Amino acid sequence: MVLSVKRPGRENGFRNRRQALPIGVKTVYCADRWATAGKRGPFLMEKNMDEKMDDRSGHGSGVTGKSGLPHMTMIVILGMAGFVSAADNWVISALLPAVAADFGTGIVTAAGMLTAYLVPYGIMQPVYGYLADRWGKARILKGVLSGLTAATAGCVLAPALVWLMICRFVAGFFAAGIIAVSLAMIGDETEPEKRPQSVGLFMGMVFLGQGVSAGFGGFFAGWLDWRMTFVCLIAIALVTLWLYRRLPEGRVAPSQNAFLSETIRIVLSEKGRIIFPMAFAAGFLMLGAYSYLGACLHEVAGAPYSLVGLVVMGFGLASFATGSRLGWLSRRFAPRVLLASGGLLGVSAVVLLALFPSVATGMVAALMLGAGYIFMQSTLATQAFSVADESKGLPSALVGLGLFGGGGAGTAAGGWCLGLGGYTLLWIASAGLLSLFVLVSLSSPVRRLGG
């Protein structure tokens, strides 16, 4: 509503001024004193309604995003797909015993499902990032989530282990694009000052899916049927596909370079030489340590699998909680400080496990690892948006490749440490390497990331 209080004889002038105002601007006229004349006169107050809404909400231009879609709505939609992707990835570890028993085979043979999924998952991430920059983020996201949903349905119907492995391969092939391309869309649709919080919240939802899948996967495998886990994921994926209709197409900025040339250019850029090795190190150390948390609690502390699942869920819960507050932290601390803080949390977690392995300390360690990982991952993913101004998809995918590839390498290295000296050697080695990560985070080269 427009409120006008006008002095007699001045209507025509004010009417003309009102008509000249741009659409979307409210005008309020009131009586006030002229600061210089000392007499009563009209005072024009104009307020753009979009700015007014932003001022009240405290979110600035990040409320609706560049496309007009409410920003939080976009993050939740993308986060739902990330939740499904992470849960689909990690739940199979909890289902291995039940799957092996169902098909009458051993754990080692059934574990081939992990390799069948992870190989295409790692290889395809940069490919989807490159294609998203050329063809549009929303188009790629709809395609990969549809493919993942179909492959997961195949897992439910698989009559033999070989068919299940084939379906897991196809699932990994499509799931590879979800997190990387979602991050690229966040980079396109979010103002720079809002990106850390948006990335943190999105990744928090992703690792919430990882943590929840461990608990619920064990429940379904033990009390119902392992296939019901995939049925639940299909239901969430179908709802997300329906919501995907609201996503903006995202900026299309096709590179003039071929895929390999563009990848090399981005990796060897000034920021790329810092961000991508740091991403590999973060995945190697944090995800590598997290991979053995549950086994340590079961074998050293004697915790039952059901309790181990609940403890491991703490990683995802801490990731989600930390991600929701990362925007506030990023406005107060430089990227190098956040990276170092994540490393310090990791050091504290593994030292705690080395000295006092128990269910209670395991829960604290899970929370520390989850919070520390989000400090590292979200900071690096946010910085990747500025590696190449014209490209968001490929840099985001390369960060994901570094993190998850590093996680796989860290898991393998952890197994080697276990064979040499058990969990004590594993945690001590992790503490030493994480301390080195902290020092590197505070070094001069990392200062180039800002702050």
| pLDDT tens for each residue of 197-211 | 788 788 878 878 877
Which pLDDT band, with edges at 50, 70 and 90, does 53 fall under?
very low
Checking if the pLDDT of 183 tops 90, the result is no
- 287 and 241 part of one domain: no
Which pLDDT band, with edges at 50, 70 and 90, does 90 fall under?
confident
| Among 1-10, 37-46, 215-224, the range of highest mean pLDDT | 215-224
**Amino acid letter, residue 310:** L
Q: Which of 179-193, 218-232, 343-357 has the lowest mean pLDDT?
A: 218-232
The DSSP output letter for 111 is: T
For residue 263, is it within any domain? no
Instruction: Work out the angle between the directed axes of helices 227-243 and 195-223 (0-180°, nearest 10).
Output: 150
- 348 and 451 part of one domain: yes
For residue 69, is it within any domain? yes
**Amino acid letter, residue 368:** M
Average pLDDT for residues 414-429, to the nearest whole number? 87
CA distance 390 to 262: 12
Between residues 139 and 389, the one the model is more confident about: 139
- 105 and 250 part of one domain: yes
Q: Residue 391: phi, psi to the nearest 5?
A: -135, 130
* Count of structural domains, the chain: 3
Residues 6+ apart with CB under 8 A from 151: 167, 168, 170, 171, 173, 174
Q: Which of 43-47, 135-139, 332-336 has the lowest mean pLDDT?
A: 43-47
Checking if the pLDDT of 176 tops 60, the result is yes
Between residues 144 and 51, the one the model is more confident about: 144
Average pLDDT for residues 48-54, to the nearest whole number? 37
| Among 160-169, 328-337, 393-402, the range of highest mean pLDDT | 160-169
3 state SS of 206: helix
Tokens representing 308 are 């181990």
- 303 and 434 part of one domain: yes
For residue 75, is it within any domain? yes
CATH number of the domain residue 433 falls in: 1.20.1250.20
Which pLDDT band, with edges at 50, 70 and 90, does 186 fall under?
confident
Checking if the pLDDT of 57 tops 70, the result is no
Checking if the pLDDT of 107 tops 80, the result is no
CA distance 296 to 309: 12
Between residues 67 and 215, the one the model is more confident about: 215
For residue 85, is it within any domain? yes
CA–chain centroid gap for 43, Å, is 49
- 398 and 414 part of one domain: yes
CA distance 433 to 364: 20
Residues 6+ apart with CB under 8 A from 287: 373, 403, 404, 406, 407, 410, 411
- 439 and 314 part of one domain: yes
Residues 6+ apart with CB under 8 A from 353: 293, 296, 361, 362, 365, 423, 427
CA distance 149 to 192: 33
Q: Please work out, in degrees rounded to the nearest 5, the angle formed at the alpha carbon of residue 110 by the alpha carbons of 109 and 111.
A: 90
**Amino acid letter, residue 128:** Y
- 274 and 246 part of one domain: no
Checking if the pLDDT of 217 tops 80, the result is no
- 440 and 351 part of one domain: yes
The chain-wide mean pLDDT, for the chain, equals: 77
Q: Which of 237-251, 324-338, 351-365 has the lowest mean pLDDT?
A: 324-338
Q: Percent of the chain at pLDDT above 90?
A: 20
- 51 and 178 part of one domain: no
Average pLDDT for residues 142-160, to the nearest whole number? 93
Residue 341 sits in which domain range? 269-451
**Amino acid letter, residue 86:** A
Reported for 354-362, long-range contacts at CB under 8 A and 24+ positions apart, including other chains, are: 354/423, 354/424, 354/427, 354/428, 354/431, 357/296, 357/297, 357/300, 357/301, 357/423, 358/297, 358/301, 359/297, 359/301, 359/303, 359/307, 359/311, 362/293, 362/296, 362/297, 362/301, 362/303, 362/311
Q: Are 297 and 357 in contact (CB under 8 A)?
A: yes
Residues of 113-130 as b/e, b for ≥16 C-beta within 10 angstroms? bbebbbebbbebbbbbbb
- 245 and 314 part of one domain: no
Q: Percent of the chain at pLDDT above 70?
A: 76
Q: Are 191 and 76 in contact (CB under 8 A)?
A: no
3 state SS of 32: strand
Which pLDDT band, with edges at 50, 70 and 90, does 311 fall under?
confident
Average pLDDT for residues 427-434, to the nearest whole number? 94
Q: Are 237 and 146 in contact (CB under 8 A)?
A: no
CA–chain centroid gap for 259, Å, is 24
Tell me what pLDDT residue 157 has. 92
- 49 and 74 part of one domain: no
Residue count (the chain): 451
Checking if the pLDDT of 231 tops 80, the result is yes
For residue 286, is it within any domain? yes
Average pLDDT for residues 114-137, to the nearest whole number? 82
Checking if the pLDDT of 91 tops 70, the result is yes
Checking if the pLDDT of 141 tops 80, the result is yes
CA distance 273 to 212: 34
| Dihedral angle sign, alpha carbons of residues 244, 249, 255, 258 | positive
Tokens representing 240 are 């997300």
Q: Which of 39-48, 65-74, 217-226, 317-326 has the lowest mean pLDDT?
A: 39-48
Residues 6+ apart with CB under 8 A from 377: 203, 279, 282, 399, 403
Q: Are 179 and 85 in contact (CB under 8 A)?
A: yes
Which pLDDT band, with edges at 50, 70 and 90, does 60 fall under?
very low
CA–chain centroid gap for 141, Å, is 15
Checking if the pLDDT of 14 tops 50, the result is no
pLDDT digits 0-9 by tens, 342-380? 999 999 999 999 999 898 999 999 999 989 998 998 888
Q: Where are the alpha helices (DSSP H) in 224-304?
A: 227-243, 259-267, 272-282, 288-291, 293-299
Q: Residue 45: phi, psi to the nearest 5?
A: -120, 125
For residue 207, is it within any domain? no
Residues 6+ apart with CB under 8 A from 430: 285, 288, 289, 346, 350, 414
Average pLDDT for residues 286-296, to the nearest whole number? 83
For residue 404, is it within any domain? yes
Average pLDDT for residues 27-49, to the nearest whole number? 37
Instruction: Work out the angle between the directed axes of helices 227-243 and 137-157 (0-180°, nearest 10).
Output: 160
For residue 166, is it within any domain? yes
Checking if the pLDDT of 389 tops 80, the result is no
Which pLDDT band, with edges at 50, 70 and 90, does 239 fall under?
very high
Tell me what pLDDT residue 268 has. 85
Checking if the pLDDT of 432 tops 90, the result is yes
- 248 and 308 part of one domain: no
Q: Are 382 and 279 in contact (CB under 8 A)?
A: no
